[in-house]
A and B are shown apart, each in its own frame.
Chain A
Amino acid sequence: MLEIGQKGPDFTLPGVDGAEHSLADLLARHQAVVVIFSCNHCPYVRAWGDRMMAIQRDYAERGVALVAINPNDAVKYPEDDFESMKKRAAERGFNFLYLRDESQEVARAYGATHTPHVFLLDSTGTLRYRGAIDDNYSDPDAVEFSYLRDALDAVLAGRDPERTVTDAVGCTVKWK
């Protein structure tokens, strides 16, 4: 698994917007890139979905790009195929990039184990935080620790995040 201080492996993946997106290009244009391994079918992802959009909305002007990457096996989980991703992104009005990792190579390169699984990279592509979005999947009003927001605030201010690693909570990545 990618460790704090290591560089995030580059990738180029197709997005639901019809374009190819590379990490190198995203890093060149942003102060931080939040890579979240994600999917359509997992209820944990769905429970955190509105918060993912809120984070992209709240941090966009500060130069943050949130990128969701779906690596799941779409044979056993057909609602995770690329067409279903496009449909869900349109229905929900995703304001972040949603990319397909069909080969699962990117998920393996990062060591993603769950959906959602967050990897926060700073402007140099260095991993600064890894784990969960916050500490309460079920109730956004009961969140005590907003891990990702806190880490973003720290990184954008040039500081080290107080918490650099938390446990990813969610569905396991559905490997082929």
Chain B
Amino acid sequence: MKIQFLYWTECPSHPEAWQRLQRALADVGVQAEIERIEITTDEEAERWKFPGSPTILVDGRDIDPAGAGMPSRLTCRLYHLENGRPSPVPSETMIRRALEAAADSA
């Protein structure tokens, strides 16, 4: 499994997202190659189709497909938690489900 963790340092949510990713990986118990990719310019955001920080791709698929279509740009990314609350960080459940789906389809 390949995971790409894309982030922009001006948005403070990426350390928390990184911790949640680590916990979700431990929960699911899969081996994964993780690539951390810092996005620093509008051009990089466009090239990576980066809708905001953080963005997590599992085998090339966004863990939150609903938000993946937002314009590419340097900003904090909006997620919606299972209880409907807006959040700058994806929930551990969202990450875990994406990991499980990728593991099942492997």
List the B residue with the shortest CB-CB distance to A167: B12
Q: Provide the A164-176 mask, 1 if CB < 8 A to any CB of B, else 0.
A: 0000011110100
- Which B residues lie within 8 Å of A77 (CB)? 73, 75
Q: In the complex, are the beta carbons of B89 and A138 less than 8 A apart?
A: yes
Q: In the complex, are the beta carbons of A171 and B11 less than 8 A apart?
A: yes
Q: In the complex, are the beta carbons of B88 and A137 less than 8 A apart?
A: yes
Q: In the complex, are the beta carbons of B73 and A43 less than 8 A apart?
A: no
List the A residue with the shortest CB-CB distance to B86: A46
Q: In the complex, are the beta carbons of A41 and B12 less than 8 A apart?
A: no
A74 and B76 alpha carbons, distance in the complex (Å) = 16
Question: What does DSSP make chain A's interface, helix, strand, loop or mixed?
Answer: loop
Give the bracket for the number of chain A residues in contact with chain B: 10 to 19
Which residues from 30 to 76 on chain B have a C-beta closer than 8 Å to any C-beta of chain A? 73, 75-76
- Which B residues lie within 8 Å of A42 (CB)? 75-76, 88
Does chain A have a CB within 8 A of B18?
Answer: no
**Contacts A41-B78, A169-B12, A172-B10 given; does A47 touch B73 at CB 8 Å:** no
Residue positions of A touching B, CB distance < 8 A = 41-44, 46-47, 49, 76-77, 137-138, 169-172, 174
Residue positions of B touching A, CB distance < 8 A = 10-13, 73, 75-79, 85-89
